[in-house]
């Protein structure tokens, strides 16, 4: 079995944001030369996520509003984690909701998606450099 590892680097200029990284991941799959296997994509930070969904702006606004309702940023004093002097407890919780990683089948050298599926990097505590890992395994 072959293995290929690649990192993506991001710097989201605002506190929160969603980046479509599908093309970046497909480029890594292509570079791997793997035709049949699996592709793992995971955030390498505890205040961001990787998820699969539709690339539709209204849905992303709904998702952001829903996450903010479940784990609101303010007031920051509501979260014990922020007693350490940080203000990102909500970002840790939002990451728990969306998760750390996704795994996609690779078939004939391509990400094997459903019709509208795309891979997104979700940032919940931005304004600094962050990374995501791509690991492709197969033959």
CB atoms within 10 A of CB 6: 17
For residues 10 and 17, the answer to whether their CB atoms sit within 8 Å is no
Is there a cis peptide before residue 75, judged by omega within 30 degrees of 0? yes
Residue with tokens 């980046």: 19
Residue 27: is it exposed, middle or buried by C-beta count within 10 angstroms (0-12/13-18/19+)? middle
Considering the entire predicted model, what is its pTM?
0.96
Residue with tokens 């909701």: 97
pLDDT in tens, the chain (139 residues): 999 999 999 999 999 999 999 999 999 999 999 999 999 999 999 999 999 999 999 999 999 999 999 999 999 999 999 999 999 999 999 999 999 999 999 999 999 999 999 999 999 999 999 999 999 999 9
Q: Which of 9, 44, 10, 39 is nearest to 26 (CA)?
A: 39
Domain ranges of the chain: 2-55+94-138
Decide which of 3.40.50.300, 3.30.750.24, 2.60.120.460, 2.60.40.10 is the CATH code for 2-55+94-138. Answer: 2.60.120.460
């Amino acid at each position: 079995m072959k293995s290929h590892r690649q990192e993506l680097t991001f710097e989201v200029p605002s506190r929160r944001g969603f980046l479509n990284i599908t093309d970046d991941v497909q480029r890594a799959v292509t570079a791997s030369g793997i035709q049949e296997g699996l592709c793992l994509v995971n955030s390498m930070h505890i205040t961001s996520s990787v998820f699969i969904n539709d690339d539709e702006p209204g849905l992303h606004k709904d998702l952001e509003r829903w996450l903010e309702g479940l784990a609101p940023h303010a007031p920051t004093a509501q979260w014990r984690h922020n007693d350490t002097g940080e203000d990102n407890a909500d970002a840790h919780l939002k990451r728990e909701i969306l998760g750390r990683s996704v795994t996609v089948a690779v078939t004939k050298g391509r990400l094997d998606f459903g019709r509208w599926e795309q891979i997104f990097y979700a940032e919940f505590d931005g304004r600094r450099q962050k990374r995501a890992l791509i690991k492709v395994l197969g033959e």
